[in-house]
Amino acid sequence: MEFALSPEAVLKLWSALFVGEEKRVGTRTVLVGYRHVSEMEAYVPQKFCSNQIVSSKYTVWNFLPKNLFEQFRRIANFYFLIIFLVQVIVDTPTSPVTSGLPLFFVITVTAIKQGYEDWLRHRADKEVNKSNVFVIEDAKRVRKECEGIKVGDIVEVSANETFPCDLIFLASSTKDGSCYVTTASLDGESNVKTHYTVQDTANLCSCRALDSLTATIECEQPQPDLYRFVGRINIYKGDQEPIARALGPENLLLKGATLKNTPKIYGVAVYTGMETKMALNYQGKSQKRSAVEKSINVFLIVYLCILVSKAVVCTTLKYVWQSVPYNDEPWYNQKTQKDRETFKLLKMFTDFLSFMVLFNFIIPVSMYVTVEMQKFLGSFFISWDKDMYDKASQEGALVNTSDLNEELGQVEYVFSDKTGTLTENTMEFIECSIDGFKYSSSLSEVDGGKASVKAARSQEELFMRALCLCHTVQVQENDEVDAQKSDSGISSKYVAASPDEVALLQGAQKYGFTFLGQENNFMKVKTPYKEIERYELLNVLDFDCVRRRMSVLVKANDGKLYLFCKGADSAIFPRVPEAEAQKTRTHVERNAMDGYRTLCVAFKEISQAQYVVISGQIKEATMALQDREAKMAKVFDEIETDMHLIGSTAVEDKLQDLAAETIEALHTAGMKIWVLTGDKLETAQATCYACRLFQTNTELLQLTTKTVGEEGRKEDRLHELLVDYHKKLVVDMPHGKRTWLLSHEYGLVIDGATLSLILNPSQDSRSSHYKTIFLQICLKCTAVLCCRMAPLQKAQIVRMVKNSKGSPITLAVGDGANDVSMILEAHVGIGIKGKEGRQAARNSDYAIPKFKDLKRLLLAHGHLYYVRIAHLVQYFFYKNLCFIFPQFLYQFFCGFSQQPLYDAAYLTMFNICFTSLPIVAYSLLEQHVHIDTLMAFPKLYLNVSDNAMLQLKPFIYWTFLGLFDGCVFFFGTYFLFQDVSMENNGKMAGNWTFGTMVFTVLVFTVTLKLALDTRYWTWLNHFVIWGSLIFYVFFSFFWGGIIWPFLKQQRMYHVFAQLLSSASSWLGIFCLIFLSLLPEILALIFRNMKRKIHQPDPLELPVLVSYKQLENGYNSKAKAGVAAAGFSEHCHLRILQMQRL
């Protein structure tokens, strides 16, 4: 029998399956419990990935080839591989072991490190994938391994368990169908979030009930945004029309989150394995490179050029030498027939490669391993710093990226958020304004105690009810999670995503109105008359940073419908009558000037007919799978009109401890501080004065909607202001870097609307130059305040400065999700472990507990890290130049025959064993200036800014020092050996004795040179410096067959012992070491004499000289200031020694 469907039936079936709109590309359909919707449906199952998590990079089979490929992508490793292959293929003067062994050591150490890290990832993956979970199948609880979960499975999760995949919340053991979740492992937020189930499935709390559920879920394809989800669930009940319900982020339980304070929940898997939001968020961030790394690459190119030049010179001079017949073919070294027949150009090329091999040690391959080790181990000192440990949160600093340690010492621009970064983000309700009347601590105290003049009682109560109803706060009773306690006498705590909302509820409690919580979609409010009012929560119009407001639709007991709305004054005032706005505007502006955070509260009454229309619009928008956010924003915008203003609130966000001192210190250190905030202008400006970003003598230049003007002439007015400010700051100001430290201070204030005009100008040719002029003005200002900023604008500002002339080093610091974009954009990103979640800390390079820790991080750790690694880089190139330059000079005395000066063992172990540990210890422990001094005198930071120790002058100094020492090693030994017999029997020394003498002086000189540079001695420095020298002597005796007689057959047998048997050798070694170190010794004596001349007055504790010496309790006497200046000059001289200027 044939069975056919009419077109109408097909259309009806299609509509039933996908209620609300057609199925679109980019969505997925999930069958809950794999139950088909209809017998007639020809459902084609979609392919979804398994729930197996794979965070590892390698497998047993691909580890070796993949790891080697990645390592040889580095230029230095690839270069030494080529050198090694040349040594193997071509007849070179040195053994392939001399290049192969150091390369093998570097590759092996790196491979072991990366292999161990990947093994840890494999182990963590196995632990997750093999964990047990319960799945509902055929109305029974079935135990499965986590990796066995498939999309569509109904999963049971109990309290304190983590969700095994991304689940749509179906049912809960609680009455109201809610559950509490912590997402600390995802975004670091320790506060509890409330999630809700769809009410149609809330009562399906048993296996049998869930097994009877027939439903489909349509949702977007996987994407990494943790806070965005768009979907809908279609529930089928027999022949009835399917019920469609919208799904949002509040219905999605993310893998890695933990269920708290809820006995049990059930959910259906929608994203599994590597498609979960947690897995998608583990993709690596873009790699940031430090200025030191760029300098290393430049130095490497210079030394490669030196290497090629040496090889070209020696190859050329060899054939000039051999142009004389006797030199070309002496009687004792006749050429073979094969040598005579070899093509000359090929022979010249082979000789060139041989010289390249002979001199290749001028490129320090081990430097890369040492730098990596120094960065990795050095990062622990930041984590271990007890002065950066916050006892309140019991957390210290965290290093997420050790590659940028030295960049902390090069910062020129600091971009800071305000709320939660400069301030505590601990909100306290201060006062409110109702109908134009100011209220202090109670409804009876109005504007200085004039209780006779105040708002109507009905307005007061309406305002307080609005505060108690317009929010998303949840009340948890007897909960262990850290949240704000209610003062109502009951054992409950307020849980909210924003501390502002908790502060407003606590403010309402002061006036007698207490929010008691929400039950079965009814909000309960306790009045001063001890009555409990119940309001049915109909809709919540959520807050977003574009609308800058949120609203609720509620139904009172008397059946009346109300819309309560709260938000920024700029978002509320245009939506209420101007007369009502004028009453409250004065209070809002005054509170903002006092530094308080302000919100305006409005309402309107809605008829039942209006609500039917509104409800339909909201439902249609929330059901959309495509462009849901835009459609909802449009609907919300239409609803939130024609409201009436009730009043405003003032909440204080206190300044963080030592925030002002920190900003002052950073400013003194030569950094420019910009504050980028979404707060209103007056509040942000008051905070900037409080934290001393703006001084009393700072002239403020304003580019705001107030100064620019209205729509008609705003671009013309903006042009006039930009030209005027440009003339004042750029044209008339003296030129030079950091001239703002010496001249009159200017501060710039700009808001988001004006910034949009500058960054996104019209097609007018004049406006196309706005950005260039604006940037020049900003760079000349001491401080900049950008208010009413969107997150994207913050990133645009950072990018603009980062890409400006000179490419200044930028640092961004913030504590919230809205700061992530600028943190990722800046050269160095700092996250504050604040109360707005941990997204900023999770995406940052470094995370610190408080803003005050930024001072120590930059002025102490950053300064020292830069000095250490800069000295390490210069020292590596210096000692390798000392090492190879005598080899180059030796070719002039051996007929350019490519004869090695050093034994192969010495060539191999010079960088690996004999000189490696002292520089590692130095680069980890050195403190050329004490940390307390660096903290007390921020101006010392200027001495290492602009990459001072890796500029051309220090590089030339170190290069010429290496050439000088190389000449002393070679020619000093040459003249000592020229006409003197080193043995009692009159026998002259051979070339290996000569080379050993040079090498001995070399090892002792470069090691003692580092000892002279060391200012901070520890037992570890003593151990590695003197231990390295002792090990060299021990190894030389061992290699010479003295300790190990089985080595007597090789060419170095007894060479070192015979060398030390001569008194003239001892004298020569000491004299050459002293002569090589003489410039350093003389410079050290000179500096000590100068130090005594500039000896400062003793200071018990160095103090920071404030710009405002007698304000805010920050006092510094003139005598102490003079002494401090002398002491600072003394420290400055010590740093100049490190720069080698």
User: Mind telling me the catalytic residues?
Assistant: 417
- How many Cβ atoms sit within 10 Å of the Cβ of residue 522? 15
Cα separation values, 872 from 127, 372, 687, Å: 41, 12, 42
On whether the CB atoms of residues 469 and 540 are closer than 8 A, the answer is no
The Cα 847–Cα 841 span in angstroms is 5
On whether the CB atoms of residues 1047 and 944 are closer than 8 A, the answer is no
The Cα 433–Cα 448 span in angstroms is 13
* DSSP SS3 for 1097: coil
User: What is the β-pairing status of strands 132-137 and 140-145?
Assistant: antiparallel
The Cα 977–Cα 1047 span in angstroms is 26
**Closest listed residue to residue 914, CA positions, set 1080, 759, 1029, 794:** 1029
Q: Greatest CA separation found in the chain?
A: 124
The Cα 410–Cα 283 span in angstroms is 28
**Closest listed residue to residue 406, CA positions, set 294, 299, 300:** 294
The C-alpha R_g of the chain, in whole angstroms, comes to 37
3-state secondary structure 53-114: CCCCCCCCCCHHHHHHHHHCCCHHHHHHHHHHHHHHHCCCCCCHHHHHHHHHHHHHHHHHHH
The Cα 522–Cα 528 span in angstroms is 20
**Closest listed residue to residue 674, CA positions, set 759, 748, 618, 578:** 748
On whether the CB atoms of residues 505 and 465 are closer than 8 A, the answer is no
Token digits of residue 866: 């830069």
* First-to-last C-alpha distance (Å) of the chain: 98
Helices 1063-1093, 991-1013: crossing angle, 10 deg rounding: 20
What DSSP string runs through 966-1031? HHHHHHHHHHHHHS--SSTT-PPP-HHHHHHHHHHHHHHHHHHHHHHH--S--HHHHHHHHHHHHH
**Closest listed residue to residue 86, CA positions, set 345, 354, 365:** 354
What DSSP string runs through 439-494? E-SSTT-BTTT-TTS---HHHHHHHHHHHHHSS--EEEES--S--EEPSSSSSEEE
User: What is the β-pairing status of strands 561-567 and 549-555?
Assistant: antiparallel
* Beta pairing partners, 182: 258
Based on DSSP, count helices (H) and strands (E) in the chain, helices before strands.
Answer: 38, 34
